[in-house]
Amino acid sequence: MDLNAYQSAARQTASYPDVGRNPIYPTLGLTGEAGEVADKVKKVLRDQDGVFDESAREAIKLELGDVLWYIAQLSMELGYDLEDVAAANLAKLSSRAARGRISGSGDQR
């Protein structure tokens, strides 16, 4: 699926205060959903000896979809198409790789 098509379709389901003028709501939703992904992974480690069976993988996939939804909303609230966000990320990573700076910390490496 095209990222911008997803973003446009996802926007049709957006129902939160001040849609179009509210980056705070999707930011908070994004952190909550990312936490749900982490919690499901944690439980696989705790309860399933780290084995990601089909049920666990499917549950995580659904939570990842929620993360993607909030990324799409936050991007739109800030005036970005998902395609632009993805392209900028790949350019950043490519630059780091070319300079041997993939590892390490800091945004400007």
Q: Which CATH number do you get for residue 24?
A: 1.10.287
Residue 65 amino acid letter: G
Residue 12, in any domain of the structure: yes
pLDDT in tens, 39-84: 999 999 999 999 999 999 999 999 999 999 999 999 999 999 999 9
Q: What is the pTM of this model?
A: 0.93
Residue 96, in any domain of the structure: no
pLDDT attached to residue 24: 98
Domain count, the chain: 1
Residue 69, in any domain of the structure: yes
What average pLDDT does the segment 28-45 reach? 98
Local confidence band at 104 (pLDDT 50, 70, 90 cut-offs): confident
Residue 14, in any domain of the structure: yes
- Domain span at 45: 3-81
Reported residue count of the chain is 109
Max CA pair span of the chain: 44
What average pLDDT does the segment 22-36 reach? 98
Say how far apart CA 9 and CA 101 lie, in whole Å. 36
pLDDT in tens, 73-97: 999 999 999 999 999 999 999 999 9
